Amino acid sequence: MKNFNLFLLFFLLLFAGSTATAVAQEQEEEEEGFRQPIQEFAFTEAVYLQERREVQATLSYYRTEFDIQVGNSLSLDLEYGLTDWIQFSAELENNLLQGTDRNHTLRRLELGTMIRIFNSPQHAATFALDVEFPLNKHDTDIAVAEEDELSYSPVLIYARQFGQTQLHLSGGTELQADKADWFYNAAAVYGAGRWHPLLEVTGTYLEEADWFVGTGIAINRLHGWEIIAGVRRSLNHPDWDASVRVLYEFTLGKD
């Protein structure tokens, strides 16, 4: 935890210094449709899509600590807006699991799409579908064999604007072999400038419910860059995880 705190502080200070030397933020233009103060949350999925020909590259680091193992994960995610209503994504993840007696690296590829259902200044909704392909086999001494199976995750996301605060609600299931792992998320973001406090509540249900509560911050509006950092804690177990995400957004070509 100490190493992660230093890692998080380094990135926050680096980005804050860059922000302080940037030019004053121009007044935001009024846009049609749902406002987008940030690109992503720390742990949950946002309602936002990439616009037509827009690309978002996200490098994410996650650390998880559970009763029997510790995980350190590094992933690269690319999103592309085919139209203003449909986007495609591909994510490659490398996860080092440290168990009680040995270490194991788990690699996976996730392909996804997101489709906008409706979009207005007060609320918006999207449907997402992710397909996860495991690229190597588990060491079953420290992990469960079900993770070796192909999985599908349909998700429905709804967001509502309340003054300077947005609330994002999402729910879905991970379908894998003969099991369904349901999940439910609520995330809030505040503010209209460069610094955005985040609050996230995430829950999963397989054989029993497990709930996490977390907080974080997103810093953006600096030449297409954004940094998101967060920490969350389980309400049921002494488990916790943390994340740092760095993303860059740009547009390919012109209409």
Stretch among 35-49, 57-71, 92-106, 118-132 having the lowest mean pLDDT:
92-106
pLDDT in tens, 102-125: 678 889 999 999 999 999 999 999
For residue 14, the surrounding DSSP H or E stretch is helix 2-21
pLDDT (mean) for 149-173: 95
Select from 104, 116, 147 the least CA-distant residue to 36.
116
Of residues 102 and 225, the one with the higher pLDDT is 225
pLDDT (mean) for 168-193: 91
Render 74-124 in DSSP notation, one character per residue: EEEEEEEESSSSEEEEEEEEEEEEE-SS-EEEEEEEEEEEEEEEEE-SSEE
Three-state secondary-structure class, residue 168: strand
Distance CA 60, CA 75 (A): 5
Q: Which structural domains are found in the chain, ordered by start?
A: 34-251 (2.40.128.130)
Residue 139's pLDDT is what?
A: 57
> 3: left (phi > 0), else alpha (psi -120 to 50), else beta?
alpha
Average pLDDT, rounded, for the chain: 84
pLDDT in tens, 189-211: 998 789 999 999 999 887 678 89
Residue 127's pLDDT is what?
A: 98
